[in-house]
């Protein structure tokens, strides 16, 4: 059996290629999707443990897709990590309200990225626990 299953949802091919290469080298199983429709298909087929979710995408954005996944009991347990270059004041509250469990900033730090993603796979929070964090 392979490592943790990560779905990268991003409309930027270079971001996908770099993140995928680093995660594969670190023992993760990786699938990719360039938009929300492809992501929904991959979630069903790949059954990821964690989704790295780009926030700004054409069509349905990452926060709307996160809301949809968290509203469905079948996909609610999947850890969703906002994967964004746009972590400005107020964005944390928007990401948290949409259902993101953590966030990682772009551009990634190649040497630390696998460990950061692994940290986001930590134990699911029980009632009343706040799991939203920037992965360091």
Per DSSP, which regions of 54-98 are E strands? 79-84
CA distance 42 to 20: 15
pLDDT at site 134: 52
In the sheet with 50-53, reading across from the earlier edge strand, the strands are 29-33, 5-9, 50-53, 79-84, 102-105
Q: Which residues contact 105 (CB under 8 A, 6 or more apart)?
A: 84, 85, 87, 134
Q: What pTM does this model have?
A: 0.88
Ordered by where they begin, the domains of the chain are 5-116 (3.40.50.2300)
Q: Dump pLDDT digits (tens) for 64-121.
A: 999 999 999 999 999 999 998 866 677 778 888 999 999 898 899 999 999 999 999 9
Tokens coding 12: 């930027």
């Amino acid at each position: 059996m392979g490592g943790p299953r990560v779905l990268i949802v991003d409309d930027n091919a270079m971001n996908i290629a770099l993140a995928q290469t680093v995660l594969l080298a670190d023992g993760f199983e990786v699938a990719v999707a360039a938009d929300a429709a492809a992501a929904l298909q991959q979630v069903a087929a790949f059954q990821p443990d964690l989704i790295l979710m780009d926030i700004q995408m054409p069509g349905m954005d990452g926060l709307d897709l996160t809301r949809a996944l968290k509203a469905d009991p079948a996909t609610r347990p999947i850890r969703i990590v906002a994967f964004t270059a746009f972590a400005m004041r107020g964005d944390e509250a928007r990401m948290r309200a949409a259902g993101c469990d953590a966030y990682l900033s772009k551009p990634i730090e190649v040497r630390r990225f696998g460990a950061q993603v692994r940290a986001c796979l930590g134990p699911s929070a029980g009632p009343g626990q706040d799991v939203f964090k920037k992965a360091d």
